[in-house]
């Protein structure tokens, strides 16, 4: 459906000694990619780039380079950001006042057991 054969189809094509590229859409072929990007690729002028063999340490010793930011660590222990599994069972709370599940005594709204 995408124009490229899946790995299973490629294995079947190889088994019958067929050409896989015959089953690929034309837009995915290298020749089509070269035609698409032929006019868009403009070479970059490199006349101001220094030559690697002419570089010296003195050229860079007076240059100020960007330093990494100064960061401070927090005083406490770093928090663990744990991603819970989708198969993990969540603890079901039961109220000690009314015995129902889903809430605790602190948030119980049952007025009869006060």
- The answer to the question of residue 109 being in a domain is no
The residue segments making up the domain with residue 15 are 1-41
Question: Minimum mean pLDDT among 32-36, 47-51, 108-112: which range?
Answer: 47-51
- The answer to the question of residue 15 being in a domain is yes
Tell me: the pLDDT tens digits for 37-46?
A: 887 777 777 7
- The answer to the question of residue 67 being in a domain is no
Give the phi and the psi of residue 34 in degrees, each rounded to 5: -65, -40
Count structural domains, the chain: 1
The pLDDT value recorded for residue 16 is 92
Report how far residue 101's alpha carbon sits from residue 114's, in angstroms, rounded to the nearest whole number.
17
* Structure tokens, 74: 């927090």
The pLDDT value recorded for residue 12 is 92
- The answer to the question of residue 87 being in a domain is no
Report how far residue 76's alpha carbon sits from residue 78's, in angstroms, rounded to the nearest whole number.
6
Tell me: the pLDDT tens digits for 89-105?
A: 777 888 888 888 888 88
- The answer to the question of residue 114 being in a domain is no
């Amino acid at each position: 459906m995408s124009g490229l054969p899946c790995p299973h189809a490629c294995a079947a094509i190889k088994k019958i000694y067929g050409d896989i590229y015959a089953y690929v859409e034309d837009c995915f072929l290298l020749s089509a990619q070269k035609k698409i990007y032929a006019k868009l690729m403009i070479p970059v002028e490199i006349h101001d780039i220094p030559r690697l063999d002419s570089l010296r340490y003195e050229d860079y010793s007076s240059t100020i380079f960007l330093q990494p930011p100064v960061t401070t660590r927090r005083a406490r222990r770093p928090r663990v950001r744990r991603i819970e599994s989708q198969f993990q069972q969540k603890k079901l709370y039961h109220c000690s006042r009314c015995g129902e599940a889903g809430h605790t005594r602190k948030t119980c709204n049952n007025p009869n057991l006060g």
